[in-house]
Amino acid sequence: MNSNESDIIIYILYHNYESYKLALNFQQFKWARLRKIYSSKYFESIIFLYLDNHRHEWINKKFVGILTYNSYKKIKLFDIEMLANKYHNYDLISFNNYYNNPLLVASEYYHPSFINIWEKLLLLMNYDINDILSLKIPTFYNNYWMAKPDWVIKYITFYKKVINIMENNNDLKIMLNQNSKYTGKLLEYPEILIKICSRPYYTFHPFIIERLPCFFFWVHKAKIYQPNRIRDPLLNLI
């Protein structure tokens, strides 16, 4: 490996020129790879189709992960290289954590009917109901995580099966197209939401799929590390 290269690759996702300018803040890090994604009802989760088609970029890395152009405005970012080196024996390292915020409880609070859709989808995937509704599922939102390449490959396989079901099961499609009650800024621009979600509101698609890594890696017994702000240093993002 070239000395100027990192053995980590974190894709910094952006979707237009304005978000690209914010993504440039990450260019100071060797591990950052800026990547434009197109707007879809799955939001940043669409990146997994790109990863599937570009495995040569990351298959030999120690970790491959995702952040968005504005992630440093949403959360306190940890020192990613330190995490990868110190916790190299873990399969997945999240970039945020919500220890006292059970995934399903919080998701149902912010997106009423979330659990019904979650349960329906994962039963169709033949998972056990006790796992599907477990309060032990770790919580890390926004697809802010990195994992070993072999685990990313496993997740991509799962992800593609999920997308197929979400797109083709008629009952689930009706449920997913409901109003998720998310109060994001695009509500001020219903014409944009209609273009992205085919509805003048945020549907459930992005909120279900962004939480699926939490379930997948947990239920398949990946070794997960969630950083702690007391013992893990933060990223010096200038």
Per-residue DSSP letters for 136-172?
TS----TT-EEE-HHHHHHHHHHHHHHHHHHHH-HHH
How far, in Å, CA of 87 to CA of 92, rounded?
Answer: 9
Per-residue pLDDT tens digits for 27-50? 999 999 999 999 999 999 999 999
As a whole-number percent, the residues of the chain with pLDDT over 70 amount to: 97
**Range 183-208 average pLDDT:** 96
Q: Regarding beta strands 8-14 and 63-68, do their DSSP bridges make them parallel or antiparallel, or are they unpaired?
A: parallel
User: Domain map of the chain by residue range?
Assistant: 8-225
Q: Are 25 and 113 in contact (CB under 8 A)?
A: no
Mean pLDDT of the chain: 94
Q: What is the pTM of this model?
A: 0.94
**Confidence band (pLDDT; 50, 70, 90) for 2?**
low
How far, in Å, CA of 124 to CA of 174, rounded?
Answer: 15
Q: State residue 57's pLDDT score.
A: 97
